[in-house]
Structure 1
Amino acid sequence: MGCTHDCSSCGESCNSKKPENLIEKLNQYSSVKKVIGVVSGKGGVGKSLVTSTLAVTMNRKGYKTAILDADITGPSIPKSFGIHEKAKGNDDGIFPAKTKDGIDIMSINLLLPDETSPVVWRGPVIAGAVKQFWTDVIWSDIDYMFVDMPPGTGDVPLTVFQSLPVDGIIIVTSPQELVSMIVEKAVNMANIMNIPILGIVENMSYFKCPDCGKEHKIYGESHIEEIAKKNNLEVLAKLPIDPSLAKLVDAGEVENFQGDFMDNVAKKVETTCKIK
């Protein structure tokens, strides 16, 4: 906000004042210890896959986890977990859905009359819905909440960074050449908002042939190491193209995935954002 008076008359420099705290209050019955945002500079890189598998991995480690699906116009988290019922609530707030293994989920799809109904809302309304997922939902004793954000640097990421006490973000990318510019946009936004970046996850890094074991770079050679070095970031994981994982997601059974590909990401989260 710009200054509304003559600073010389009050003896203060408005530019030196601390910015207004815009963090929204949780529901009085909620408890969330750590909030981790999962972001990407462009769509289609597997951000929701990283969010869901990371939440599952942390849940397997014994933490109470939750996912706030902030991708209002393109929600995919409920389908990944096989959740089709509607959210319920009372005068105290809205209750998140629970997955088979006990992960709390809130998504716009749990509130729509039909999960295929489009959300044709303008930016401020979408941003308001994301705030309500934080303030009106009863998040019960959550250790780690993962926020699946829409791609880009628009209204919703800005709302999340300003309104939620985000402890760190994970940037999801793919191997394409244009990723360098897109990653830097996400990095610059995080720096402007003073949000710590935990590291980068590259999705669709390679395909491993089930017959010969050879790795094929379907989308070309990765540039993620040089991008990470340029921005002083850590590469947390390089995820393969895995048809079996895609099949589980399509079937709503992401909690049944096998493999340790998210273990290093989970370790980074729990060591950098420790639960006190």
Structure 2
Amino acid sequence: MFGIKSLFSKEDPVEKKIIELLNNYRSAIFPMGIQSEWIEQIKKENNEWQVHIDLPFAAKSQQSILKTYLQDSLNQEITVSINAQLAPHYKFKKIRHIILIASGKGGVGKSTTAVNLALALKSEGARVGVLDADIYGPSIPSLLGLVGEQPTAKDEKILNPMEKYGLKTMSIGYLVPAENATVWRGPMASQALSQLLNETDWGELDYLIVDMPPGTGDIQLTMTQKIPASGAVIVTTPQDLALADAQKGIAMFSQVNLPIIGLIENMSFFNCSHCGGKNHLFGKDGGNQLAARHGVPLLAEIPLDIQIREESEQGANLIDKELPISEHYVYSAQLISSMLYLQSHDSNGVEIIITDD
């Protein structure tokens, strides 16, 4: 999958032990360990072992965790470098995975979550695009600091995506002035969304993150029935009302046989700056209970944090600044990428390709 690997010296006991330790390593990101074919090279230079890994999903920052694990296990100086090398098989045009970010109701931080997940996947080594599917209330231009910007045309039918922070992005907000209301019936909005998706030159992408409108209407059905999405991530808050609406979103995706990748509970708690305690302002354990009820993972419990609001309002890149709050999005992105790989490959790492036959 990743080309010819370096020939490992089977005589070196440390090298053999490194391979064994990586094979046996287990975590939420690596539930089946690190396969030998992912190990690109192991070599020793200046009394330091260097391990190079090509991962078939986006989780570059796991290299520091693996470094600590190997050093503690072997009592040797070790560096680990990870390169994301996703498989070239595409499900839609030249897009590897389409991920729908959805919520049952508005105001739960879905768009902010979508953008930060996209930025996190990019930071982990993936090629990422963002499609703003909220025709009536597009938020992506504001969150990426692109309000007032307009895309250029590649030709008479195709638009070039806007680019920011290494993300390719398209939104009706780039085409309709922010002060103008988009007054369309459902079929018109669905057609507009289809055009944004199909008439944008996305190029090659590992992930297209789709910021869905809240609810379970025409646009949601269009995206789930006509587009080969890999799965959906449901964003909710701990409030009973938000959880009830999230339940409806899960039911809709289940009816159209779209996998639920997991749930993200936003505004999960507030960390008191004085005592350091967690204050559950909007309820407690609601997302965890909903995820358990449907047998899907709770990807993250993201706290209510002023840095999210401040950075989002400025259209800043929360992930590149490496703020503590960004760790929630990075870990969620790693989990999503790992899960999508495992869903589409058998236990031997062979890709499962489903055809229409």
Residue in structure 1 matching 2:333, options 250, 260, 266: 266
Contact 1:173 1:203 in 2 (8 A): yes
Task: Please name the residue that 2:169 is paired with.
Answer: 105
Asked if 1:81 corresponds to 2:148, the answer is no
Task: Please name the residue that 2:355 is paired with.
Answer: none
Amino acid in structure 1 at the alignment position of 2:159? I
Q: How far off is 1:91 after superposition?
A: 2.7
Amino acid in structure 1 at the alignment position of 2:168? D
Task: Please name the residue that 1:235 is paired with.
Answer: 298
SS of structure 2 residue aligned to 1:78: helix
Residue in structure 1 matching 2:198, options 135, 142, 145: 135
Amino acid in structure 1 at the alignment position of 2:288? E
Amino acid in structure 1 at the alignment position of 2:226? S
Contact 1:52 1:254 in 2 (8 A): no
Contact 2:234 2:264 in 1 (8 A): yes
Residue in structure 1 matching 2:160, options 95, 118, 122: 95
Contact 2:237 2:243 in 1 (8 A): no
SS of structure 2 residue aligned to 1:170: strand
1:231-267 CA-partner distances (Å, limit 9, x unpaired): 1121110011111110110111144552301133212
Contact 1:134 1:164 in 2 (8 A): no
SS of structure 2 residue aligned to 1:260: helix
Amino acid in structure 2 at the alignment position of 1:151? P
TM-score for both structures, normalised by structure 2:
0.66
> Which shifted more, 243-252 or 208-217?
208-217
Give the 4+ runs in structure 1 shifted more than 3 A. Answer: 254-257
Unaligned runs of 5+ in 1: 1-24
Amino acid in structure 2 at the alignment position of 1:41? G
Task: Please name the residue that 1:5 is paired with.
Answer: none
Structure 2 Cα separation of the partners of residues 87 and 139 of structure 1: 13
Contact 1:206 1:215 in 2 (8 A): yes
Higher relative contact order (CA 8 A, sep 6+): 1
Structure 2 Cα separation of the partners of residues 254 and 151 of structure 1: 24
Structure 2 Cα separation of the partners of residues 218 and 72 of structure 1: 31
Unaligned runs of 5+ in 2: 1-90, 345-350, 352-357
Task: Please name the residue that 1:122 is paired with.
Answer: 185
Q: How many residues align?
A: 247
> Which shifted more, 141-150 or 220-229?
220-229
Amino acid in structure 2 at the alignment position of 1:118? A
TM-score for both structures, normalised by structure 1:
0.85
Asked if 1:49 corresponds to 2:127, the answer is no
Q: How far off is 1:116 after superposition?
A: 2.4
Q: What is the percentage of aligned positions where both structures have the same residue?
A: 34
Structure 2 Cα separation of the partners of residues 231 and 201 of structure 1: 14
SS of structure 1 residue aligned to 2:240: coil
SS of structure 1 residue aligned to 2:328: coil
1:183-220 CA-partner distances (Å, limit 9, x unpaired): 22111111111101011000001111223212111112
1:133-172 superposed matches below 5 A: 133-172=196-235
Structure 1 Cα separation of the partners of residues 280 and 226 of structure 2: 39
